Chain A
Amino acid sequence: MFFVALITFSLAHLAPGSPFDKNPNRPLPEETIARLERYFGVDKPIPEQFVIYVGNLLRGDLGNSFVQRGRPVSEIIGQGIGVTAQLGIQALLLALAFSIPLGIISALKQNTPLDYFSLLIATIGTTIPGFVTAIFLIYIFGVSFHLLPFVGWGSWQHSIMPTFVLALGPGAFLTRITRASMLEAIRQDYVRTARSKGLREQSVIVGHALKNALIPVATIIGPATAGLITGSFIIESLFNVPGIGRFYVLSINGRDYPMIMSTTLLYAFIIMIANLTVDIVYGALDPRIKVS
């Protein structure tokens, strides 16, 4: 976490140009810039700024946005996080809802047209970037048939396309993993044992194979969360969704240091938490692995 903060901070400050020279035709008077720099504390040497930033951070103060007239960063993030979280959770649930059944079915019907179809979908989902899929969807459902709105956020119709596009990448990945681990599970001895003692096929698959096949799938949810996060700022910018991702892209272009720092740290933090949770859950699901 500390290193993430250090790297982001130095990179952001190494960049030439100050956040206050936005308009080259009408430059601000020099004393105004000096006053602004003093107000935001960017006139001090960079290492000192970093120490001050970390100190404030530990006290829960994320600083003020440069660009949005000194609004506290925590306020901007607080405003966007609800939207981003809603979008992210919807997408994760959708991804799980279609990928696990699809993976299971294609493993059980290996090398049938159904299997090839779901593999093709999975390949397309992992290969084609979200913004490209989004463009095709917007063209079909938004522009040609006017079925769904594609700009902004508000009603549930607004969230359909962003959720679907965001879910596609992680969902396709999860499908592949589910298929692979299910294929491995149904060849195990314990599945043969279950079958030979005369259990119904359904309970063999659900109770014996699936239970074990889902363990590797659970560990992928960590990286999948990372995928959702990086996906979110592109999708949010594209669909004009007022979440953190869109603010993040805006703040990178506007050189808004406190915003860049806080958002990056927040992302790294969420990913760390996700990975940690997965590690713990993994240990609980599979007693063969001990959490050290």
Chain B
Amino acid sequence: MATAVTTRQQQQRAAELNVIARKQRSLWKDALTRLLRNKAAIAGMIVILFVAFVAIFAEIRLDAIGLHFRLAPYDPVADQNTPKALMEPIWTQAFGSKYTDPVMGSDQLGRDILSRLMFGSRISLIVGFVPVAIVFVIGGTVGMLAGYLGGWVDNSLMRFTDIIYAFPDLLFVIIIVATLRGTAFGDILGGLLLIFVGIAIVGWVGLARLVRGQVLSLKHREFIEAARCIGATPTRIMLKHLFPNVLAPVIVSVAFAIPGAMLTEATLSFLGVGIRPPTPTWGAMINEGFVVFSSTPWPVLLPALCISIVLLAFTFVGDGLRDALDPRMKL
């Protein structure tokens, strides 16, 4: 009896070992599997891909090879391109109405809302990704240096963050953007560059603090000591050993920073201090249409819906990434 039990235990153990040996996967593959199992995250990714598709193909103009393709039915900026101003979308019109052309109606200047929404998605996506990329590079570098080197780099970073933290984020961006709008700098790309800078200035500090904290907790671990003992240079340690280890929380924070930046742009445009008209952005469409909201709600409701759906999509992906990358959730 005793031997039988032992044998069974051994068999079990062997099976377990075998399983462990076969199912060896990296953290990233593991995370990817978990992310793909998350239905909300998948739905979010599909929405984002769809919006990216619309944004790219809203208009493609390559004059060099004479290519001009526009998915949007109208020019989003030229005024009076639909039969008349403030047309209702087709779903509120009586069946068999003579106007079926502007599918989603037109705004008070007679511009096609569908086209403006499609071009607006470009601004939203650009504002989502570009400032966050700046934040990733600057915040990551400063946080890494401050955490690993310490000293005056660390001290000045911490003082600077204290000052930035005294402002509510949005208040700070509004002040920067509102005051610098009239300058030549504020004119570049119709005010887009100023918004990038505004969001990045406020945003990099949070990421730098995150990276710094992670590096501080990692830098006295054995694998870093070991790397230092075999004579790895600080640059090598930071890039090859610390960077991959802080990447997971950084990715999660970046994933949430993207909808944050889009929200900031929408809010700025809504308050009238964002990108200059007539460039279509969802926030600006809400701002412009709000005057006639009580009589003609669709020019406001449609961009509001677009903002909600896209922000939710990014948040779902962010949630999915967090759950996939956070080892504590493994249970």
Instruction: Mark A residues whose CB is within 8 Å of B.
Output: 1, 3-4, 7-8, 11-12, 14-17, 123-124, 126-129, 131-132, 135-136, 138-139, 142-143, 226-227, 229-230, 234, 237-238, 249, 252-253, 260, 264, 267-268, 271-272
Flag whether B294 is at the interface (Cβ < 8 A).
Answer: yes
The minimal Cβ–Cβ distance linking A180 to chain B, given in whole angstroms, is: 12
Q: Given the known A-B contacts A17-B182, A135-B286, A252-B174, are A226 and B168 also in contact in the complex, defined by CB atoms under 8 Å?
A: yes
Name B182's closest neighbour in chain A (CB-CB). Answer: A16
Q: Are B178 and A132 in contact (CB under 8 A)?
A: no
Binding stretch for chain A, among B3-11, B143-151, B308-316: B308-316
A11 to B178, CA, bound (A): 9
Q: Quick check: B166 and A4 within 8 Å, CB to CB?
A: yes
With A124-B312, A129-B266 known, 20 other A-B pairs at CB within 8 A are A3-B163, A3-B166, A12-B175, A14-B180, A16-B183, A17-B182, A128-B307, A128-B311, A129-B263, A132-B286, A135-B300, A139-B293, A142-B294, A227-B168, A230-B168, A252-B175, A264-B171, A267-B168, A268-B167, A271-B168
Tell yes or no: B170 within 8 A of A by CB: yes
Given A132-B307, A135-B301, A253-B272, decide whether A123 and B315 contact each other with a Cβ distance below 8 A.
Answer: yes
Q: Is the CB of B167 within 8 A of A132?
A: no
B interface majority secondary structure: helix
- What are the residues of chain B within 8 A of A1 when measuring CB–CB? 166
Report Cα–Cα, A238/B271, bound state, in Å: 9
**Cβ distance A206 to chain B, nearest Cβ, rounded Å:** 28
User: A136, B175: Cβ atoms under 8 Å?
Assistant: no
Q: A8-B175, A127-B311, A128-B311 are in contact. Are A234 and B166 (CB under 8 A)?
A: no
**Chain B: interface size category:** 35 or more
Which chain B residue lies CB-closest to A227? B168
A257 → chain B closest CB, angstroms: 10
Which B residues are closer than 8 A to A by beta carbons? 163, 166-171, 174-176, 178-183, 259, 263, 266-267, 270-273, 286, 290, 293-294, 297, 300-301, 304, 307-308, 311-312, 315-316, 319
Note all chain A residues with C-beta closer than 8 A to B266. Answer: 129, 132
Q: Separation in Å of the B168 CB from the closest CB of chain A?
A: 5
Q: Which 9 A-B pairs have the closest CB atoms?
A: A15-B179, A230-B170, A252-B178, A127-B315, A16-B182, A230-B168, A226-B168, A11-B179, A132-B304
- A132 lies within 8 A of B308 (CB): yes
A234 adjacent to B300 (CB under 8 Å): no
A139 touches B297 (CB 8 A): yes
How far is B171's CA from A136's CA once the two chains are assembled, in angstroms?
Answer: 24
Task: Give the complex CA separation of A132 and B290 in angstroms.
Answer: 12
Chain A positions within 8 Å of B259 at CB level: 127
Which residues of B lie under 8 Å from residue A229 when comparing CB positions? 168, 171
A-B contact pairs, 11 of them (CB 8 A): A1-B166, A11-B175, A12-B175, A126-B315, A143-B297, A227-B168, A229-B168, A229-B171, A230-B170, A237-B271, A264-B175
Quick one: closest A residue to B309, CB to CB?
Answer: A128
Are A230 and B297 interface neighbours, CB within 8 A?
no
- Dominant secondary structure of chain A at its interface with chain B: helix
Residues of A within 8 A of B293 (CB): 135, 138-139, 143
Residues of B within 8 A of A132 (CB): 266, 286, 304, 307-308
Residues on A with C-beta less than 8 A from B267 are 129, 131, 234
Docked Cα-Cα span, A229 to B293, in Å, equals 26
Most chain A Cβ neighbours within 10 Å, of B179, B273, B308: B179
In the assembled complex, the CB of B307 is this many whole angstroms from the nearest CB of chain A, namely 6
Which B residues are CB-close (under 8 A) to A139? 293, 297, 301
CB-nearest residue of chain B relative to A131?
Answer: B270
Min CB distance, A12 to chain B, in Å?
6
Partner among A4, A17, A136, A227 whose Cβ is within 8 Å of the Cβ of B304 = A136
Establish whether residues B171 and A267, one from each chain, have CB atoms under 8 Å apart when the complex forms. Answer: yes
A208 to B180, CA, bound (A): 53
Q: Which residues of chain B are within 8 angstroms of A260 by Cβ–Cβ distance?
A: 175
Contacts of B297 in A (CB 8 A): 139, 143
B128 CB, nearest partner CB in chain A, Å? 13
Is there contact, CB below 8 Å, between B167 and A4? yes
Q: Pick from B166, B175, B272, B300: contact of A271, CB below 8 A.
A: B166
Which residues of A have CB within 8 Å of B301?
A: 135-136, 139
Cα A4 to Cα B311 with chains together (Å): 31
Query: A124-B312, A139-B297, A249-B271 are contacts. A15–B171 as well, Cβ < 8 Å?
Result: no
**Given A17-B182, A128-B308, does the pair A252, B273 have CB atoms closer than 8 Å?**
yes
Known: A132-B308, A139-B297. A11 touches B176 (CB 8 A): yes
Known contacts: A132-B304, A138-B293, A234-B270. The answer to whether A15 contacts B170 by CB under 8 A is no
- Which chain A residues border B316 with CB–CB below 8 Å? 123
A104 to B166, CA, bound (A): 31
What is the bound-complex CA distance between A60 and B200, given in angstroms?
A: 35
Q: Are A230 and B171 in contact, CB atoms less than 8 angstroms apart?
A: yes
- B311–A15 contact, CB under 8 A? no
Task: Tell me the nearest residue of chain A to B289, going by C-beta.
Answer: A135
CB neighbours (8 Å) of A12 from chain B are: 175, 179
Report chain B residues within 8 Å CB of A3: 163, 166
Residue of B nearest to A127 (CB): B315
Give Cα A14–Cα B178 distance, bound, in whole angstroms. 11
